[in-house]
Amino acid sequence: MSTEKTFKLDGKSIPFQDGDTIMDAALRAGEYIPHLCHNPEFAPHGSCRVCIVDVNGRHMSACTLPAAEGLEVDNSSERIMEQRRNILQMLFVEGNHVCPGCEKSGACQLQAVAYYTRMLSPHYTHFFPKRSVDASHPDIAIDFNRCILCELCVRASRDVDKKNVFSITGRGLESRLVINSASGKLGNSALSASDKAVSVCPVGAILPKHVGYDQPIGDRLYDNKPISVVGDVASANNQQENAND
Ligand code: SF4
Ligand code: FES
């Protein structure tokens, strides 16, 4: 008799190991759960809520909920997709996401998840916040209008690059990303183009310079296959790095 531990995701048995979250086990089994602040290389953060699933009748974040035997997880019902669309619509109106003018268009995880959940409009009134663009660094620009406060750059710079270039300050609607440098500008920070923090942004907020629009429409990350097949920006980057080795 098999002693493998499993839970049910949309009726399928998903094996898991001790310490796995629902997200860990699902992604390992090839099952996509939408996510933005989650990256398997970092500890769960649980802030974006896009990974919301229904677990035995309760709405939970798949990236933080430990897997356990007997769980019945709904990842794809219309009710769950509607919840995710609401969360995405709020993310879109809280910032200034002008997809046609963004060089990350076609390779943006926020845009790809919105397509996946069949979000057709922002629904809510746009906040149109006044935010800046910092192009003071010779190799990297940051557009704060597109930041969704996922803290991936914060975690990557702190835990991998050991530089602490980024922090989040403020609370609630006042929360914002800041640069840790004497002037508060990227150009005076320790960030370099090869840093992990530059490659983890799931939206078009942190952008390497000199390579903008180099992918023609039709060849961009999510042009031909949906995010449920291609995976998140981080895993696509890793596959690209492995292919280049
Ligand atoms: Fe996340 Fe990008 Fe904002 Fe950093 S700049 S917090 S990676 S959205
Ligand atoms: Fe789970 Fe963001 S991916 S809360």
- Domain ranges for the chain, please list them: 7-76, 104-224
For ligand 1, say whether the CB of 200 is within 6 Å of any of its atoms.
Answer: yes
User: In this structure, which CATH number among 3.40.50.2300, 3.30.70.20, 1.20.120.1200, 3.30.420.40 belongs to the domain 104-224?
Assistant: 3.30.70.20
Centre of ligand 1 to C-alpha 44, Å, is 15
Q: Are 221 and 107 in contact (CB under 8 A)?
A: yes
Q: Tell which residue, 117, 92, 127, 105, has the closest CA to residue 220.
A: 105
Centre of ligand 1 to C-alpha 149, Å, is 5
Residue 173's pLDDT is what?
Answer: 82
Residue 233's pLDDT is what?
Answer: 81
- Output Rg (C-alpha) for the chain, integer angstroms: 18
Nearest CA to ligand 1 atom 8: 147
Centre of ligand 2 to C-alpha 216, Å, is 30
What are the tens digits of pLDDT across the range 176-192?
A: 999 999 999 999 999 99
Tell me if the domain spanning 7-76 has CATH number 3.90.1310.10.
Answer: no
Residue 183's pLDDT is what?
Answer: 97
Residue 242's pLDDT is what?
Answer: 63
Record the pTM: 0.94
* Strand 6-9, strand 72-74: pairing: parallel
Centre of ligand 1 to C-alpha 152, Å, is 6
Which atom of ligand 2 has the smallest separation from the CA of 150? 2
Residue 11's pLDDT is what?
Answer: 97
**Residue ranges, the chain, pLDDT below 50:** none
For the CA of 109, the nearest ligand: 1
For ligand 1, say whether the CB of 234 is within 6 Å of any of its atoms.
Answer: no
Q: Tell which residue, 32, 37, 86, 27, has the closest CA to residue 59.
A: 86
Residue 1's pLDDT is what?
Answer: 54
- Sign of the alpha-carbon torsion through 103, 100, 122, 23: negative
DSSP string, 193-212: TTSHHHH--SSSSEEETT-T
